[in-house]
């Protein structure tokens, strides 16, 4: 009988937190760049932050795949926190893109 593998939840969650928090910070920095009319740098910061978000998403996907393959994932406060940071990062990008667009429109007037 195959024994189910337990995922090292703590390290996985900390990796998600680190990458998603880097993404969120970058998205917020892109707003500051747009406010200073540094639109190209703002877009570069969005793209750089997307790389961090994608890394967090990849780690999270591996966690989901492990669960789908019969692995046991302990749902604890750290995992909830990691997923919360990911959702905040995603929302930060959405707001950053809208705010950058607004600053760009204002600068054209």
Q: Which residues pair with 6 in a beta bridge?
A: 72
**Residue 94 tokens, joined:** 């959405």
List the binding residues for Mg(2+): 84
Contacts 24+ apart (CB under 8 A), 60-67: 60/16, 60/86, 62/12, 63/7, 63/12, 66/5, 66/7, 67/7
Is 81 catalytic? The answer is: yes
List the binding residues: 84
Please state, as a whole number, how many other Cβ atoms lie within 10 Å of the Cβ of residue 13: 24
In the set 43, 81, 97, 99, the catalytic residue is 81
Contact indicator for 37, 107 with CB cutoff of 8 Å: yes
- Kindly list the catalytic residues: 81
């Amino acid at each position: 009988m195959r024994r189910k593998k337990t995922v090292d939840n703590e390290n996985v969650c900390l990796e998600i937190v680190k990458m998603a928090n880097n993404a969120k910070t970058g998205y917020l920095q892109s707003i500051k760049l747009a406010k200073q009319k540094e639109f190209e740098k703002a877009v570069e910061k969005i793209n750089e932050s997307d790389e961090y978000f994608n890394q967090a998403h990849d780690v999270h996907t591996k966690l989901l795949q492990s669960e789908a393959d019969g692995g046991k994932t302990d749902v604890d406060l750290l995992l909830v926190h990691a997923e919360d940071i990911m959702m905040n990062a995603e929302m930060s990008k959405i707001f950053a893109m809208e705010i950058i667009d607004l600053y760009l429109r204002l600068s054209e007037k």
